[in-house]
Structure formats: C-alpha cells, structure tokens
Amino acid sequence: MKLSYLLLSALVVTLTACSSDADNFSGEWQSVNDPSRQIIFTSSGKTYSFETRNIKTDLQGIPGTYNAKAHALEFDNGKGDTIQLVYNASVKHIVGLDDEFEKASGAVAEKAEDKDSTETATEEIKSAEAEPSATSTNCAKGDVLVISGNNVRVRNEPDVTKQNILFQVHKGYEVIHLDDKNVDGQKWYKVCYDGNIGWVSGQYAAKK
C-alpha cells in the first residue's frame, strides 16, 4: 500500500513537472544579452508556434511540438531545418536560436508592442498612399500561386523581423501573384487573396 502510494506520488510529480515546463512556452521572452531580441510564443492544444523580434529564422509560424524528455519545443520545416527551444528549469531560461532568453518584463513587452503597433500603423498608411487601388479588382490580374505551407502568414511588407502580419492562408489555398522581390537573398511574392493584398515568403508558394 505504501509502495503504491509512493509510486503514484512520483507519477503525479513527474506529470506536473512536464506540464509546467510545457506551460512555460507562452508569452514573450527576451534575450538576456539583448532585450530587443525577443520570442513570442502561441499555442493551440499541443501545437506551438513562435514569432520573433530582431531575430532571423525560417521557422517562424511553423507548428512545433513539446518533447517532455528534452524539456523542449521542437520545430521542423520539412526541408532539413530543425531547432530545439529548451527550457532550463534551474535558471528559468529558454535556450535556443544561438541565445538565452528570460521571461520579458511587463514594461519591456509593452514597449515592444507599442513600437510594433506604431511601425505597423505607419506601414499601413504608407501602403495605402502608395497603392490607393489595392482592391479585389487587382485579384483578377496575375498568375495563380498555390500555398504549400500550413498557416502561412501574409505580411504588410516582406520582412519577418517585424510584427506586420495581416492574415494567414493555409496549404492548398490559391492566391494571385501581383509582384515579387528578393530581400536578403529570400524570394517574396506580393499576392492577393479575397480582396486582401500582402507579401508571402517564396518558400511557401509556387506557381500552379
């Protein structure tokens, strides 16, 4: 009886620890070396994803899973690029992306959000001024591209370092190709979907 109780207690403690570690991958985390470098986690059930500020990575928005044995989130884009974001319980830090992160303080997170909101608002105003005719009519012009990734983010401009997400499209969706450009060696497509215009990374779209 006593042995069974001890085993049950150990199991409960183990499950609680795993759950706690997984729960730590939420909200905003900042680099201990440079607070402007940040990771923002989101989750849906057992699936996790992340966005970054001032950190370049091709794995933003890719669905990831929690590995309880490694105390880590694991991400794989299916093209040979994989990363682990490991939670170190002893110092309550997350290690990965060639850096170490701590939970962002409220003041830092609020400042970053205000900065992103200001930048996004400015970008939208500039975009509206530059493209006053960006309506659903433009969707009828251009080649058709098929989205090849899951939960692909359509952005206000071709830059993954900023929080400029307009909406998401999913695998198999068809969008109209309006323009393209190369930014830091990466191909971007300007597309139109359901009357909305934005930019998607070239690695997640291909000609039909």
The domains found in the chain, sorted by start residue, are: 22-104 (2.40.128), 130-207 (2.30.30.40)
Q: How confident is the model at residue 28 (pLDDT cuts 50, 70, 90)?
A: very high
Q: What is the predicted pLDDT for the residue at 82? A: 82
| 205: CB partners within 8 A, 6+ apart | 145, 146, 147, 148, 152, 175, 177, 189, 191
Q: What is the pLDDT of residues 121-175, one digit of tens each?
A: 455 444 444 443 333 445 777 889 999 888 888 988 888 777 788 888 888 999 9
Tokens for 179, please give them: 């323009």
Q: What is the predicted pLDDT for the residue at 20? A: 57
Q: Give the largest Cα separation in the chain, rounded.
A: 76
N- to C-terminal Cα distance for the chain? 66
| 137: CB partners within 8 A, 6+ apart | none
